[in-house]
Amino acid sequence: MLAPVLPLLHRLLQPTFPGCLWAGNPKRREIALTFDDGPHPQYTPPLLRVLDRYGVQASFFWLGAWVARTPETARAVSAAGHWLGLHGYDHRSFAWLSAAQLRQTLLRTQAAIEQACKIDSERLRDVRPPNGLFTPQTLHHLDQWGYRSVMWSVVPVDWERPGVPVVARRVLDQTGAGSILVLHDGPCGGPDVAATTEQILPPLLAQGYRFVTIDQLWANMAAPEPT
């Protein structure tokens, strides 16, 4: 079972690849809530309503193919002020791509987002590899091209759809200061994403966590804990 292994894998990978964003500042009671594989015309809109209800800003790592397929949904996410990142055009694992293919999948995704949302593609610098798979060469290329590699610290394996209570419990058990939470609003995991988010937000807010975007997490990495 993958769910118990991922926290251990995170502890191994974080010091090995320190140039990636694996978590935020552990001295700041902040969380980044992120969503992969969207935007999806059926699953993303109810998720947006939940986020709006609780006043939470999230970060979405998009597939270019879905942006091109559902630009109205993409525009709704962007208009709500959420942070946008890249997840490749069609979810092919970066580890298996040549440098030219990797560059192309990122540029195509940027172009799709720029066209749909009318935002400058230069703002789209944050990249999360599909399936969490990468090589040192992948990271070298991303850095060379001016991208920022964003990973994760809490992955409740929601794409297997073990049930909303199970996913919510995994999130709540693993979350701490600086956590980067990963859920999915695409075809895998998307049917449950709004309900899961509805379950995790109230207890995390009650514990005094503040939700920030990935951009804010980068900026606050070296900042002291607010008093």
Q: Which residues have a catalytic role annotated?
A: 36, 184
Question: What type of residue is 217?
Answer: L
Residue 174 and residue 96: Cα distance in Å, rounded? 30
Residue 111 and residue 108: Cα distance in Å, rounded? 5
* Residue 80, token pair as written in the block: 């709500």
Residue 6 and residue 64: Cα distance in Å, rounded? 26
Helix (H, G, I), strand (E, B) or coil at 224: coil
The DSSP code sequence of 136-165 is HHHHHHHHHTT-EEB--SB---GGG---HH
Residue 65 and residue 9: Cα distance in Å, rounded? 29
Q: Are strands 210-212 and 59-62 parallel, antiparallel or unpaired?
A: unpaired
Helix (H, G, I), strand (E, B) or coil at 124: coil
